[in-house]
Amino acid sequence: MRLIIFVLALGILGGGLSLGALCLAESNPPQASGQSEAIIVLGCQVYPSGEPSPQLELRLQAALESYRAHPRLIIVCGAQGGNEPAPEGLVMYKWLTANGVDPKDVIAECDSLNTRQNLQNAKALLPGGIKYVTVITSDYHLPRALAIARDLGLSADGIGSPCKPEYWVKNHTREILAWGKYLLWKVTGK
C-alpha cells in the first residue's frame, strides 16, 4: 500500500512539475520579430461542417495579423483527420484567402499527421533556402513546436494563439504527454 501511495505521490509531483515547466516555457517563447521570411501555421481540428475549430481559427487570426503587418509566404499544414471533411491545410488556405491573403502567398501542405511532419513538410516547401520562419500554433503547443523546428535546422520565432479556457486542462495535459514522447524521441531517435 505504501508503494502505491509513493508511486501516486511521485506521479502527482512529476505531473505538477511538468505542468509548471510547460506554463513557464509557454509564457516566455521567442517573440516574433516580424522579420521572418515565412510563416508556418500548424493544423488543428476542422469541424465536420468544414469550418475551422475555435482553436484553429485563433491560429489563423494570428497568421492573418502577422501577414498584414509583414506580407510573406504562409505555409498551412495538416492532413485530413477521420472526422474531417477536408484536409486541415486546405481549410486553412481557403480561410486565409477568403480573408484577404493573396493566394500566391499561401501554400497548403495536406499530408502531415503530427507536429514533426507539419514542420518537416513545410520546410521542404520553403523556396530558396529560407530558414528563418515564424511558427504559429496554440500557446501551449508553441515551445515544443519551436524545439522541433530547431531540431530540423530552422531558425524560428513564434506566435502562440490563446487556448480557450474550457480546453486548458485537456490541452496542457496532452502537451505534457507530447513532451514526454518528444524527449523519448530525442534520446532514442524513434
Q: CATH code at 161?
A: 3.40.50.620
Task: Write down the pTM of the prediction.
Answer: 0.79
**Mean pLDDT of the 99-119 span:** 95
Q: In what order do the strands lie in the sheet with 38-41?
A: 106-109, 73-77, 38-41, 132-138, 155-161
Q: The domain containing residue 96 runs over which residues?
A: 28-165+175-188
Number of domain units in the chain: 1
Q: Out of 34-38, 145-149, 172-176, which region has the weakest mean confidence (pLDDT)?
A: 172-176
> Is residue 22 in a domain?
no
> Is residue 53 in a domain?
yes
> Is residue 42 in a domain?
yes
* Cα 4 to Cα 165: distance, rounded to the nearest angstrom: 33
Residue labelled with grid coordinates 498551412: 76
Tens digit of pLDDT for each residue in 33-73?
667 899 999 999 999 999 999 999 999 999 999 999 999 99
> Is residue 3 in a domain?
no
> Is residue 18 in a domain?
no
* Cα 129 to Cα 37: distance, rounded to the nearest angstrom: 10
Please state, as a whole number, how many other Cβ atoms lie within 10 Å of the Cβ of residue 80: 18
Tens digit of pLDDT for each residue in 76-98?
999 998 889 999 999 999 999 99
* Cα 67 to Cα 44: distance, rounded to the nearest angstrom: 19
pLDDT bucket at 166, cuts 50 / 70 / 90: confident
* Cα 120 to Cα 150: distance, rounded to the nearest angstrom: 11
Alpha helix ranges (H) inside the chain? 2-27, 54-69, 88-98, 115-125, 142-151, 168-188
pLDDT at residue 86, as a whole number:
95
> Is residue 142 in a domain?
yes
> Is residue 7 in a domain?
no
> Is residue 61 in a domain?
yes
| pLDDT of 17 over the 80 cut | no
Residue 41: how many CA atoms within 13 Å on its side-chain side?
34
pLDDT bucket at 179, cuts 50 / 70 / 90: low
